[in-house]
Amino acid sequence: SDVTEMLQLHNNLRASHGASALTWSSTLASKAQQWANGCVFEHSGGSLGPFGENLASGTGSSYGVTDAFNGWASEESSYNPNNPVASHFTQVVWKGTSQMGCAVATCAPGTLFSSSFGSSKYYVCEYEAQGNVIGQFGCVLLPSVMITAC
């Protein structure tokens, strides 16, 4: 299922960075569905609660969970521990996060992309505790960096 796949993708990447596995939260998934159903590609800005959030969308019948996740994970290559910047990747591997919940909505042509692309899929993931907290980026561990402050 999409739930199993999204959770597995997150936990595989987290394991490679020394972060514990996330558990699925039906509460967070419900919040994510609430936001996804609006088909507006912008962050909820805390209106759903004090959660971290990743968004992804794409068109075409083949766009799915793996594509959404890979878009977030691909930011790993530009992460610099000496000058950390918040990203989708840092939220995925954030060590203080323990739960996640995601949802997908199919959005009508013209809502997220030009109508010429047809309908689109909109993935929303919510995370608790929220990641990307300024001053705590030492907690995002890369295999080559050992930090014991977390």
The residue with tokens 């990641």 is 131
pLDDT, position 133? 81
Within a domain: residue 147? no
Contact in structure between 22 and 102 (CB atoms under 8 Å): no
- Residue 141 reports pLDDT greater than 90: no
pLDDT confidence bin for 150, thresholds 50/70/90: very low
Range with the poorest average pLDDT among 14-18, 36-40, 111-115, 142-146: 142-146
Within a domain: residue 79? yes
Tens-place pLDDT, residues 43-63: 999 999 999 999 999 999 999
Residue 23: DSSP 8-state: E
The C-alpha atoms of residue 68 and residue 63 are separated, in whole angstroms, by: 8
Within a domain: residue 116? yes
What are the φ/ψ torsions at residue 127 (nearest 5 degrees)? -130, 140
Within a domain: residue 90? yes
Within a domain: residue 145? no
Contact in structure between 39 and 102 (CB atoms under 8 Å): no
Within a domain: residue 149? no
- Residue 88 reports pLDDT greater than 80: yes
Q: Give CA separation, 79 vs 17, 72, 84, 103, in Å.
A: 13, 12, 7, 26
pTM attached to this predicted model? 0.91
Within a domain: residue 148? no
pLDDT confidence bin for 144, thresholds 50/70/90: very low
> What's the total number of domains in the chain?
1
Range of 88's domain? 2-139
Domain of 122: which CATH number?
Answer: 3.40.33.10
